[in-house]
Amino acid sequence: MKPWQITIIFIVALTLLASGSLAFARTRLVVLPARDAAVLRLAKGLPTLVQENRVLTLSKGVNPVDFSWQGVAIDPASIILCPLTGPDEARLLSVSYPPGENALVWEVYSSTDRELPVVISYLLQGIDHLVTHEALADAAERQMTLSSRLVLRNFSGENFPRALITLDQDTEFASLSRTGETRQIRFFESAGIPIEKTYVWDSSAMPHVPDPDGPAPGIPMGYEIRNTSEAGLGQHHLSGGKTRVFQQDSQGSSIFLGENQMDPVPVKDRTLLILGDSRDIQVTLRRMKTRKTNTRKNKAGAVQVYDEIVEDKFLVENFKSAPGTLTLRHVIPGQWEPVDMEHPYTLKAHDTLEFDIHLAPGEKKSISLSYKRLNLFTGRFSRYNRF
């Protein structure tokens, strides 16, 4: 069995007919040019582009070069032959596809007998990649080491004994890849990356009043990192992928904190990795009052439009022996205006308020909000009250 399934049969025509039409002599010299090197260009969500460097031995005139493949899936329309010389010395004249074959024939013109270095590019199926990350946070949860691994899955039917692998155009390294194997290669590591620990409570997703007899809902906790040079990153974008986060412990070992799917992080951007739930910070939201005002009625006396004053009360408890900052996200649907907000907030969207609540160890905090929902419709337009 040949190690490679992709072959180039280089057919040199010894004689050419003077009429200008191409014909082959009975005697042929068949050359199998070795693959010098291959570049595997990997990009997320796109087929893998293979680029091979080969050297063709050309005679003066027009040379047919047969490129065929078996047992691999190449997109025939993607195959490109690129001579690495000037167009006056050698150039590609035509491409033809034999019927019923996984092959194509290039006609390459050469001005002299020569060895012509070329790059052959094609899209190969059955080979792709994943990126996984592993992070190790320090015991104080202030810094972490991030390492990234490429998982090269080669089920293409083709072996690449020496391949230069490029990942998203800004990372490259050499490796081999055999068909049927999955290879994991660490291609990036950076230590001392600052992390910011964050707790997020979202009123649109969390229960307002925890069930006294049921499990307490955990508050999602995660680390925020920035892809900047100040953070020891910022050299290139961080590829998206499953990220497993560990933390050093006092026993010289580590524990697993959780995993999440990291979205690609462009340079200067940030990402938040939610790792698990905190059950030492608890939030209870109670609606203390709703009161209708400014009612507008029709002639029959039925209310058509009204405003509503709402009073909500958050009780936030920190059972930890360490301080923490909770991001409390509250959603108020529809048109509204503040009446009396006890705590400063950031308006993330017209209906989304974010409160940063700093909690001392063991601290309990109560935060009351009063706001007015405006122009609430009754009847058939009531569905517009949420938008």
Partner 1 sequence: MRPFQFKAGPGGGSRHWMRKNIQLAVLPILALCLVLPAAGFAKIDLSTLSGRDNVQITIYKSRDLTLVRDSRTLQFAKGDNRIQFSWANTRIDPTSLALELKTSTDLVSVKDMVYPPGAKDLAIWHIQAKQACQAQIDILYFTSKLSWQSYYMAFVSPDGRTMDLKGYVRVTNQSGEDYARAQTRLVVGKVSLLDKIADLAGQRYPFGRPDLMNAKDQAMRAAYADGMTLLKEVGAVKRSVPARPKKITKQGMSEYFLFTIEGRQTIEDKWSRRLVSFEARDIPVTDTYTFEAERYGAQAIHRLVFHNKKEDSLGAAPLPGGAIKVYQSLGSPGALAFKGADTTDYIPVGKQVALNLGPSRDVTVTPRLMKLEKANLIFDAKGNITGFDDIRDIKITLANYSGKTAALEVIRNIQSPNSRLSRVETQGRVEQTDQDTFTFYNMLAPGQTQTIQYRVTIQYRVTIQRGDAR
How many CB atoms are closer than 10 A to CB 67?
Answer: 22
**Among 32-40, 75-83, 129-137, 366-374, which window interacts with partner 1 (CB under 8 A)?**
129-137
Residues 9-68 that bind partner 1 (CB under 8 A): none
Rounded Cα distance, 31 and 164, in Å? 25
Task: Please identify, using beta-carbon distances, which residue of 24 and 173 lies nearer to partner 1.
Answer: 173
244 counts as binding partner 1 under rule CB under 8 A: yes
Q: Which of 64, 83, 232, 258 binds partner 1 (CB under 8 A)?
A: 258
Nearer to partner 1, 52 or 134 (CB): 134
Beta bridge partners of 248: 254
Q: Is 362 in the site for partner 1 (CB under 8 A)?
A: yes
- 51 vs 177, beta carbon nearer partner 1: 177
Report the residue from 292, 348, 350, 358 that binds partner 1 according to the rule CB under 8 A: 292
Q: Which of 88, 321, 349, 387 binds partner 1 (CB under 8 A)?
A: 321
Binding-site member from 50, 72, 108, 116 for partner 1 (CB under 8 A) = 72
Q: Where are the beta strands (DSSP E) in 301-387?
A: 303-318, 324-331, 336-341, 346-349, 352-359, 364-377
212 is a site residue for partner 1 (CB under 8 A): yes
* Count of all residues that appear for the chain in the document: 387
# residues near partner 1 by CB under 8 A:
88
Q: Which residue's CB is nearer to partner 1, number 12 or number 376?
A: 376
Could you tell me the smallest distance in angstroms from the CB atom of residue 386 to partner 1?
12
Report the nearest approach of partner 1 to the CB of residue 300 (Å): 4
For residues 220 and 274, what is the distance between their CA atoms, to the nearest angstrom?
A: 6
* For partner 1, the closer CB: 102 or 228: 102
Please count the CA atoms within 13 angstroms of the CA of 216 that sit on its side-chain side.
Answer: 13
**Tokens 């990009």 sit at which residue?**
43
With tokens 């320090």, the residue in question is 138
Helix/strand/coil for 254: strand
Question: Of 58, 65, 63, nearest to 16 (Cα)?
Answer: 63
Q: Which is nearer to partner 1, 110 or 260 (CB)?
A: 260
- Smaller CB distance to partner 1: residue 99 or 301? 301
Distance of CA 78 to the CA centre of its chain: 25
Please calculate the CA angle 10-38-151 and round it to the nearest 5 degrees. Answer: 145
| Residue 182 CB, nearest approach to partner 1 (Å) | 4
| Position among 43, 274, 309, 315 found at the interface with partner 1 (CB under 8 A) | 274
The interface region with partner 1, picked from 15-23, 56-64, 315-323, 337-345 by CB under 8 A, is 315-323
Q: In whole angstroms, what is the distance from residue 289 CA to residue 141 CA? A: 40
**DSSP for 164-230?**
EEEETTTEEEEEEE-TTEEEEEEEEEEEEEE-EEEEEEETTTS-SS--TTSPPPPEEEEEEEE-STT
Kindly report the backbone phi and psi dihedral angles of residue 76, in degrees, each rounded to the nearest multiple of 5, phi listed first: -60, -30
Residue selected from 80, 234, 306, 342 as contacting partner 1 according to rule CB under 8 A: 306
178 vs 270, which CB is nearer to partner 1?
178
The count of C-alpha atoms lying within 13 angstroms of the C-alpha of 131, restricted to the half-sphere facing its C-beta, is 24
Show contacts with partner 1 in window 142-201 (CB under 8 A). Answer: 151, 153, 155-157, 159, 175, 178-186, 197
* Shortest distance (Å) from residue 73 CB to partner 1: 4
Is 384 near partner 1 (CB under 8 A)?
no
Q: For residues 109 and 246, which CB has a smaller minimum distance to partner 1 in the complex?
A: 246
Q: How far is CA 67 from the centre of its chain?
A: 35
